[in-house]
Copies of this chain bind each other. A is one copy, B any other.
Amino acid sequence: MMGAAAAAAQVSDPIAELITTYHELNSSLVEELAEEPSPLEFMRYVARNTPFVVRGGASDWQATKTWDVQYLTQFLRDHSVNVAVTPLGNADAPTLDERGNTVFAKPHEEEQSFPDFIEYLTKQETDPDFQGSEIRYAQTQNDNLRHEYRALFSQVQRSVPFARIALQQDPDAINLWIGNARSVTALHRDNYENVYVQVAGRKHFVLLPPLCQPCVNERPLRPAHYARRQDQGRGGVAGGDDKNGNGSDANNADLELVMEEDADDVPFATWDPDNDQVNATKYSHLATPMRVTLEPGDIFYLPAMWYHKVSQSANEEGVCIAVNYWYDMEFSGPLYPLVSFVRSINSMPEESSN
């Protein structure tokens, strides 16, 4: 029955048409607002699944005004915190293993005293004689600002008012991120509406809308995690006997990738918009990534399911600090099923050429 209709309506490559049409109808610049949106204004962005940045929107938050290395070191002097440790700043990232296979590398995680942790970050950025090469990042995304770092929680807003009112909910998680310029968060997406607040240093986002899934070369990767080599005789870097910022022992040789043989593959984007000739799909060149740099005090809305790669610049103290609020996304309505549909279509086998 569809014969004539198919001939009329058919486009040569619907996926290419989808991505091209989207880019024709949408700006590739992130909208900049001078002040926080009202809940209604915010909801218009949510409806369009479109990011924006509020320049200076959080510049009067206590965190933005007071969190520096000295303050945090003093405030959290008796705390130990979870630290992600990697050789390359590649926590949760596609990584070549020794045999040249791309695996999904999770960080080694360990407890470190907060003062030791932040001293390591700063020395690595600011001390030319610093010997440590491993990369450390406090990046637990488990609502850590209301748990592990709850002592600091009163210094940020409990929720972002425009989002709380528009979305009619409190955040599902509030996360604190403390790292330096050595860490990069690989391109991925989350099923959350995400409000980012930059506190110190800068973050550089590269963004792709959800329907660019065919551009990112999602592949099932074997999971692995870094672990400290046992034959180095080190039980953990953060031992109290290492007053030197854990510098001299913290070299890459300490960390080895351990395959998680019994775990399921992790589907993950393997294309990097900043290295776009590698791992490209036939659609990658159609993507026009959006880019935005967050300065201290900026508030950034990252809509649900957007791909984002995040690099960091440290401030003069050598750190980059941010807080993000995850609000549950809306699974009703057409967007979630349609984005899943794009993924399904993209995973169909190519037609045979016979």
- Asked whether, in the complex, the Cβ of B337 is within 8 Å of the Cβ of A21, the reply is yes
List A1-55 residues whose CB lies under 8 Å from chain B: 1-2, 4-6, 8-11, 14-15, 17-18, 21-22, 25-27, 39-40, 43-44, 46-50
* B-contacting residues, A252-291, CB 8 Å: 265, 267, 279, 281
A232 within 8 A of B: no
CB of A232, distance to nearest CB on chain B (Å)? 35
**Secondary structure class of chain A's binding surface, majority of residues:** helix
A92 CB–B CB distance under 8 Å: no
| Docked CA distance A199–B3 (Å) | 43
Q: Which of B331, B344, B351 is close to A17, meaning CB atoms less than 8 Å apart? A: B344
Whether A341 pairs with B342 at a CB distance below 8 angstroms is yes
A116 to B345 CA separation, bound complex (whole angstroms) = 56
User: Contact between B334 and A338 (Cβ–Cβ < 8 Å)?
Assistant: yes
Say whether A218 faces chain B, with CB atoms less than 8 Å apart.
yes
Within 8 A of B (CB), among A218-265: 218-220, 265
Are the CB atoms of A333 and B2 closer together than 8 Å? no
Tell me how many residues of A have a C-beta within 8 Å of chain B: 62
A48 to B338, CA, bound (A): 12
Q: Which residue of B lies closest to A39 (CB)?
A: B40
Which B residues touch A40, using CB under 8 A?
39-40, 43, 165-166
Q: Is the CB of A50 within 8 A of B333?
A: yes
Q: A74 within 8 Å of B by Cβ?
A: no
Other-chain residue from B14, B44, B50 in contact with A348 (beta carbon distance below 8 A): B14
Q: Within the complex, which residue of B265, B281, B349 is in contact with A10, where a contact is CB–CB below 8 Å?
A: B349
A13 CB, min distance to chain B CBs, angstroms: 9
Copies in the complex: 2
- Chain A residues 189-229 with CB under 8 Å of chain B are 209-211, 217-220
Chain B residues contacting A43 (CB-CB under 8 Å) are 40, 43-44, 47
What's the least CB distance linking A54 to chain B, in Å?
18
The answer for the CA separation of A349 and B6 in the assembled complex, in Å, is 7
Task: Report yes or no: B218 in contact with A5, Cβ–Cβ below 8 A.
Answer: yes
Cβ-based interface call for A343 (8 A): yes
Cα–Cα distance between A342 and B344 once the two chains are bound (Å): 12
B residues in contact with A48, CB < 8 Å: 330, 332-333
A/B interface sample: 19 pairs, CB < 8 A: A1-B219, A1-B279, A2-B346, A5-B267, A6-B349, A10-B347, A10-B348, A18-B338, A21-B336, A22-B334, A25-B331, A25-B332, A40-B40, A40-B166, A43-B44, A48-B330, A48-B332, A49-B333, A335-B338
**Interface residues of A, Cβ cutoff 8 Å to B:** 1-2, 4-6, 8-11, 14-15, 17-18, 21-22, 25-27, 39-40, 43-44, 46-50, 165-166, 209-211, 217-220, 265, 267, 279, 281, 330-349, 351, 354
